[in-house]
Chain A
Amino acid sequence: MPIFLDYNAGAPVRPEVRSAVAAVLGGGGANPSSVHRGGQNARRMLEQARAEVAALIGAAPAQIVFCSGGTEANNAAIFGTLRARGPRARIITSAIEHSSIMKPLAHLEAEGLEIIRIAPDREGRVDPAQIRSALDRNTALVAIGLANSEVGTIQNLSGLSAPIHAAGAMLHIDAAQAAGRIAVDVSRLGCDLMTLSGHKLGTPAGIGALFVRDGANMTPLLFGGPQERGLRAGTPNLIGAVAFGVAAAIARERMEQEAGRIAALRDTMLERLCAAIPGLELNSPRREVLPNTLNLRFPGVRGETLLIALDLAGVQVSMGSACAAGAVEPSHVLLAMGRSPAAARSSLRISLGYGTGAREVEDACGIIASVWRRVARAENHPQVTA
């Protein structure tokens, strides 16, 4: 069995989720919108799941709009607020967002909207003062990730909502990587919209949610039936929602304990790898960071080669993002954090999760160190040259 250390890409389905989904599948299908008792039963399960997801971020159940995932939630947040607002607008974001924020904004920029991208510091931190000073009366939206998927940096967004609202703009927080890993509270953050993703918490991919504050001025992305308070048409994904509800409940119950356990494993891992690999550099910050994320620069190797070699040796990690053809590109996050292209190209992301134990960390450290030695030797001293 390979050692899976790529939880930020998506966690394996939790066993509890699997059995809850199996129970729904075994119970016969029904559309939660149907009038009959089958529909009523489905609706009860859907609303129970909604309550669990809401509780994860301190929201009211009616503020949770289920959708297909983080990408849809981010798109709905951006296009929904803009359409409600009208064509001329400024949007403020950071340079280290997920592609499902970056790409819609680049698209809108090409259509003439003004996009302000705040550059982070070397730790991946966005200065709230820079966001505040970029606000103007034309600003429609501030869209920012709470925790970065590639390096794990957690942004300090408290106190931002007041000036944003004073400027007449809305605050959208992408919490796909943060929710379930650290305490997230929509009241404390004062946000209008928040993106949540199921499969980062151990559901199958295909379920996510958008938190929408009461009275938030937005239009839906999809038009059709009246589901999800008219904000997301389409028969709800009941199986996904039930999975999300179970995963959210587990994440909330065990958060404190799990965050401590995983942070300790991460620290052990960093310590062991630093001892075994001279010149190893930490790209992730030490403080205000997700407990599970380690972004490391491995000296003297191409991350791409190391990633493949680790996969063949049974350790699954990741690097940047893949292009359409499947080649890995240097991380735009690391580049925005001031790393050189060469540094970004030799960096990998290791992300831990609920299934990671001391044994996995121990084994993975041994494999990573020995594979790194082999790759570094081959890339710097090839035995055969033309």
Chain B
Amino acid sequence: MGARVIAAMSGGVDSSVAAAILAEQGCEVIGIAMRLSDDGAPRTNRRAACCSYDDFEDARRVAEVMRFPFYVIDLREEFAAGVIHPFVGEYLAGRTPNPCLLCNRDIKFARLWTRAQALDADYIATGHYARIERGPQGDFRLLKAVDARKDQSYFLYTLNQPQLARTLFPLGSMTKDEVRARARRMGLANADKPESQEICFVPGGDYAGFVQSQSRPGQIRRGHVIDSAGRILAPHEGIHRFTVGQRRGLGVAAGEPLYVCGISADSGNVIVGRRDELRAAGLRAAAVTWTATRPPGELEVEVKIRYRHPPIPARLTMTAADRAEVAFARANPAVTPGQACVFYRGEEVLGGGFIESAL
């Protein structure tokens, strides 16, 4: 038997193939699905959400085909405390959270890792598209995936050296098409399962409705949509309905396209403006962490300010132990507080933090 690996399995094709590849390579794979929220009634739309009965069945089928044990563990309380409540709190505070990041940081690579140790595992594996390489000094480097369109390293910047040493990303060097082909070749039933794009605990993608359902009426911050000169344009039903950079659904008629440029939880105002008013020279980042040791002094990096945003050349200056200012090489649109900013050098993820404000 090879190394004992806990494979986190969602029932999707990526995590299934990741687990199956390790089993083929001779690892002692133990498949684990995480029950993160309540199943509720059987869903008619199979893509509606994760953690559904069907998804676990898909994962279980893969384990049966590949002949490794499979278990479902209950992390609902941890997920509610570590992901759902902060998600709601961030929206109520006028920021735009990234729950996948919190889930990776506080659930998969924390709680699941704890379980993995209890099960005497050597590694945990996920179906993320990212790579981990051993550097010349024996250090571990987190790298972008080979398939640039699928690269998920953005969601993994919180991994530190001990975590990187115990994590496997078997799909890091594969393209999505190769993963699907591999799934078909191995006879996995979910080879052509559609990809889930939305947040798993918000079926249907109605974030505003979800936030409202999870909060007390007094927590909803209503106010006005105003322009940069302070003119009131329209009332709105709560700042949690807005995201910096958003264009549609502002409830304001104007001759030119307007964007959300800022949200004030204190006043309840949502400030809108033209596209050029959205441009920021940089950002302030909090809760900054590094995959390896913290680089000294100023740093030339490329920064990704959203998952689907190309990296921007920037200069990074640490202002405190875990705080940084990032000055973009040129002005760029839509710095969205609450999202992660991830620092790259070429292929390598150096670290990242949460965007506190535009600079």
Contact = CB atoms under 8 A, between A and B. Distances in A.
Contacts of A383: 117, 162
Contacts of A374: 118, 120
B234 interface: no
Interface in B137-192: 158, 160, 162-163, 166
Contact of A384 (B30, B35, B56, B163): B163
Interface in A256-285: none
A374 B117 CA distance: 8
A309 interface: yes
Given A309-B120, A312-B119, A382-B113, A326 B163 contact: no
A386 B106 contact: yes
Interface string A306-331: 10110110000000000111111100
Chain B contact patch, size range: 20 to 34
Interface string B303-324: 0000000000000000000000
A325 B166 contact: no
A110 B157 CA distance: 50
B118 A309 contact: yes
A383 B118 CA distance: 11
Given A325-B35, A326-B60, A327-B74, A309 B158 contact: no
A75 interface: no
A325 B9 CA distance: 13
Contacts of B163: 384, 386
A309 B119 CA distance: 5
A324 B69 contact: no
Contact of A327 (B73, B110, B115, B160): B73
A384 B106 CA distance: 12
A304 B120 contact: no
A382 B117 contact: yes
A385 interface: yes
B118 A378 contact: yes
A132 B121 CA distance: 54
Interface in B52-69: 52-53, 56, 60, 69
B117 A328 contact: no
A313 to B, nearest CB: 8
Interface string A20-58: 000000000000000000000000000000000000000
A256 B286 CA distance: 70
B114 A379 contact: yes
A384 B119 contact: no
B206 interface: no
Contacts of A329: 74
Contacts of B160: 384, 386
B120 A312 contact: yes
Interface in A288-310: 301, 304-306, 308-309
A328 B72 CA distance: 8
A378 B114 contact: yes
A375 interface: yes
A382 B114 contact: yes
Contacts of B117: 378, 382-383
Contacts of B71: 308, 326
Contacts of A385: 110
Contacts of A325: 33, 35, 39, 51-53, 56, 72
B35 A327 contact: yes
Contacts of B39: 323-325
Contact of A379 (B33, B73, B118, B158): B118
Contacts of A326: 33, 56, 60, 71-72
17 contacts: A305-B115, A305-B118, A308-B30, A312-B30, A312-B120, A324-B39, A325-B35, A325-B51, A325-B53, A326-B71, A327-B35, A378-B115, A379-B114, A384-B160, A384-B166, A386-B109, A386-B110
Given A309-B119, A325-B51, 18 more contacts: A305-B118, A308-B71, A312-B30, A312-B69, A312-B119, A312-B120, A324-B39, A325-B35, A325-B52, A325-B53, A326-B56, A326-B60, A328-B74, A378-B114, A378-B118, A379-B114, A384-B113, A386-B105
Interface of B: 30, 33, 35, 39, 51-53, 56, 60, 69, 71-74, 105-106, 109-110, 113-115, 117-120, 158, 160, 162-163, 166
